[in-house]
Amino acid sequence: MPDRIHSYVHLHLVSDATGETLIAVARAVAAQYASVRAIEHVYPLVRSQKQLERVITDIEDAPGIVLYTLIGAELSERLEKRCKEIGTPCVSVLAPVLGVFRSYLGTESTPRIGGQHVLNTEYFRRIDALNYTLLHDDGQMPEDLNEADVVLVGISRTSKTPTSIYLANRGIKTANIPVVPGIPLPPQLDEVTKPLIVGLIASPERIVQIRQNRLLSLNADDNTAYVDKSSVAAEIAFTRKLCARQGWPLIDVTRRSIEETAAAILAHYKEHANDA
């Protein structure tokens, strides 16, 4: 078959659960093709033939790549058969991994739709972490900082809040404290013994750009030290000195995604837990 070059590709993601696994896998792979735009069609909670037929109709209307996580053999077979008939690649994302488990363990799996979303202890730990994190955003409720697993400190626009929420989704209770020129940090921060404290910084150019966009969205005056490059550089220098003095790890988020920042924090957290 001759090579075909597409500027876009339709991705049909078919799941009998939430589809989160498929979305994560599809985006991880699609990111490797910078010149191709992936158009996602997500079909969660597909659990009947009637629902599947609607999906197949959409696939016929916009052929592309089909990825699926369907536990029921009947639905899987129907989807694969129809995709083969219309010449569309169709892949079960979990099948290769299930095969490795089956081979290694010497036993068959027990099919459970959405098995990773059961209401177990881990699930409720994540909910507890989210509740704590939302209540301790932007320096709120510092009196119980010692209950946190991680405390993030940094100047405005260093992605403290989204990083905190991402960590909370991993079951890590996370508080974040803003570093503001002329305003002392909460005294409770000097008294904590349990949490890992991590400083976040970014380049002055990046901070200024984000802050300018923020002011623009608020229709606010940008003639302020908040977006002055030298003032921002001074804030960053202060954060560096603070973290060095306290012995807190410091992470530059300039070129990091939230996920990459969180991964670096989790690596520090693992070391912190081992040393405790």
Q: Which residues contact 41 (CB under 8 A, 6 or more apart)?
A: 10, 11, 12, 13, 58, 62, 64
Q: What is the DSSP string of 204-264?
A: HHHHHHHHHHHHHHTT----SGGG-HHHHHHHHHHHHHHHHHHT--EEE-TT--HHHHHHH
Secondary structure tally for the chain: helices H, strands E:
9, 8
Are residues 69 and 94 in contact, defined by beta-carbon separation less than 8 angstroms? yes
Are residues 98 and 109 in contact, defined by beta-carbon separation less than 8 angstroms? yes
State the Cα–Cα distance between residues 91 and 13, nearest whole angstrom.
10
**157 annotated ligand-binding residue:** yes
Name the residue among 133, 153, 150 with its Cα closest to residue 236: 153
**158 annotated ligand-binding residue:** yes
**Strand order of the sheet with strand 90-92?**
37-43, 8-15, 65-69, 90-92
**161 annotated ligand-binding residue:** yes
**236 annotated ligand-binding residue:** no
**57 annotated ligand-binding residue:** no
DSSP class of residue 183 equals: B
State the Cα–Cα distance between residues 170 and 125, nearest whole angstrom.
9
**48 annotated ligand-binding residue:** no
**160 annotated ligand-binding residue:** yes
**199 annotated ligand-binding residue:** no
Q: Which residues contact 123 (CB under 8 A, 6 or more apart)?
A: 117
Binding site residue list for ADP: 154-161
Binding site residue list: 154-161
